Amino acid sequence: MSGVTLEHVSKVFGNVRGVDDVHVEIKPGEFFTFLGPSGCGKTTTLRMIAGFYYPSAGRILFGDRDVTALPPNKRNTGMVFQNYALFPHMSVFENIAFGLQVRKLPRPQIKEKVERALSLVHLSGYGNRRIDQLSGGQQQRVALARALVIEPQILLLDEPLSNLDAKLREETRFEIKRLQLELGITTIYVTHDQAEAMSMSDRIMVMNGGVVQQIGTPDEIYNRPLNRFVATFIGETNLWEGTVVGIDSGEARIEVAPELVLTGRVQNASPACQLKVGQKTAISIRPEFIREAKPDDQHNVVKGNIIVSEFTGASVNYVTEVGGNRLRAMFVNQGHRVRQRGEELALHIPTESIYFVG
């Protein structure tokens, strides 16, 4: 098992910078995810790791070994593609055995390894089925078995769940995570789905326009986003624009609308955001941190009329209009009466829940 290092890796296609100066160290045994919208450079980065693309600049290392110039078949990576790329006319067994036959392993050894891979993905007994006789979820597991059968040192997964329906996607999430923990294999996972990334990953690299936006654990990128892009792409948030009007004893006051000043903590500013009086900045407030105001709340109390009231069972979501801004608040359902559209709601935004994103 080895880690993967990308050293200032870029990939240029004509005049498009598909991937721009990505620098990251993925640890041995880590479940590491590339997350970002379509076209942000996830697949291109993964393909460079697999050896299908040669970087325009930078180096790629597996452990201490420089693999930048190695062809894919010399890298010992297992890859699962978005569309599975299985051979439809071949049996499950033949599909999984393919990589071993190419490596010219003896027949009994191939059989043993394929059986083991099938059992790993809970498909024992399916060897003789044809691919077109399988459900989408089963095909996905065959693709996984095919990637694992060569005993790769690194597993690469490119949006492996995107062709599955919502329920199956959730089940398969846990299945992949279970396998990764069982095998302890360094895994690089590509997705545009932030919930998927958050629930599966040890660490996440958020990308946009070929550029790394933030690298961190799921709670770091959710709770301490480095910029507006990360704050809005990961989860739901209220992103408000404002001007800093005062800084005093570790607290910053920010005017978000005429006569509406909120107080946040200076320590909750992203490193890229140097707070000073007069500066314009955006703040991010997660809906679940907002509370209903109590009579003794001193500041950060905002009143507004409900414009959306949503009851999901587990939660009650309200959107109110406050000083020209919309504020989304989420309360855990505790069986109280659900307030309706048009009613006034007084909300408290806790000081520590305001995050300055610059």
Q: Would you call 46 exposed, middle or buried from its count of C-beta atoms within 10 A (0-12, 13-18, 19+)? A: buried
Pick 43 or 95: Cβ nearer Mg ion: 43
When CB distances are held under 5 to 8 angstroms depending on the partner's kind, the choice from Mg ion, ligand ADP, none that residue 41 binds is: ligand ADP
* Smallest separation, CB 228 to ligand ADP (Å): 19
Looking at residue 138, its amino acid is Q
Side chain identity at residue 279, one-letter code = Q
* Closer to Mg ion by Cβ: residue 45 or 300: 45
Amino acid at 273: C
Ramachandran category for residue 23: left, alpha or beta (phi over 0 → left; psi -120 to 50 → alpha): beta
Distances (CA, A) of 12 to 58, 140, 156: 12, 31, 22
51 binds, among Mg ion, ligand ADP, none (CB under 5 to 8 A by kind): none
Our CB check for ligand ADP shows the closer of 194 and 284 to be 194
Beta bridge partners of 17: 12
User: Cα–Cα distances in Å, from 63 out to 29, 90, 154, 297?
Assistant: 12, 36, 11, 54
Choice between 81 and 265, CB closer to ligand ADP = 81
Q: What's the closest the beta carbon of residue 259 comes to Mg ion, in angstroms?
A: 47
DSSP-H helix ranges across 184-236: 194-200, 218-223, 228-233
Least spacing, CB of residue 150 vs Mg ion, in Å: 23
Q: Which region among 4-12, 41-49, 271-279, 332-340 touches Mg ion (by CB under 5 A)?
A: 41-49
Nearer to ligand ADP by Cβ, of 79 and 149: the residue is 79
Q: Nearest approach, Cβ of 200 to Mg ion (angstroms)?
A: 17
Closest to Mg ion by CB, 42 or 75 = 42
Site string for ligand ADP, 4-33 (x = CB under 6 A): ---------x--x-x---------------
Name the binder of 340 from Mg ion, ligand ADP, none, CB < 5-8 A by kind.
none
Rounded distance between C-alpha atoms, residue 144 and residue 179, angstroms: 10
Q: Of 297, 294, 287, 289, which Cα lies nearest the Cα of 318?
A: 287
Q: Compute CA distances 78 → 4, 127, 158, 257, whole Å.
A: 14, 20, 11, 53
Residue 43 in contact with Mg ion, rule: CB under 5 A = yes
Decide which of ligand ADP, Mg ion, none touches 16; Cβ closer than 5 to 8 Å per partner kind.
ligand ADP
> What x/- string results for residues 142 through 181 when contact with ligand ADP is judged by CB under 6 A?
----------------------------------------
Shortest Å distance, C-beta 47 to ligand ADP = 8
SS3 of the chain: helix, strand, coil, percent, to 5: 30, 35, 35
**Whole-number Cα distances in Å, 355 to 107, 273, 332:** 60, 10, 22
- When CB distances are held under 5 to 8 angstroms depending on the partner's kind, the choice from Mg ion, ligand ADP, none that residue 225 binds is none
Q: Which is nearer to Mg ion, 43 or 320 (CB)?
A: 43
Q: Output the smallest distance, CB 95 to ligand ADP, in A.
A: 24
Q: Using CB distances below 5 to 8 A depending on partner kind, what does residue 287 bind out of ligand ADP, Mg ion, none?
A: none
When binding is defined by CB under 6 A, the residue of 5, 10, 33, 44 that contacts ligand ADP is 44
Considering only 3, 41, 152, 358, the residue that binds ligand ADP (CB under 6 A) is 41
Cα(145)–Cα(131) distance, integer angstroms = 13
CA distances from 344 to 272, 309, 310, 320 (A): 37, 12, 15, 8
Contacts with Mg ion, residue ranges (CB under 5 A): 43
Query: Which residues contribute to the site for ligand ADP (CB under 6 A)?
Result: 13, 16, 18, 36, 38-44
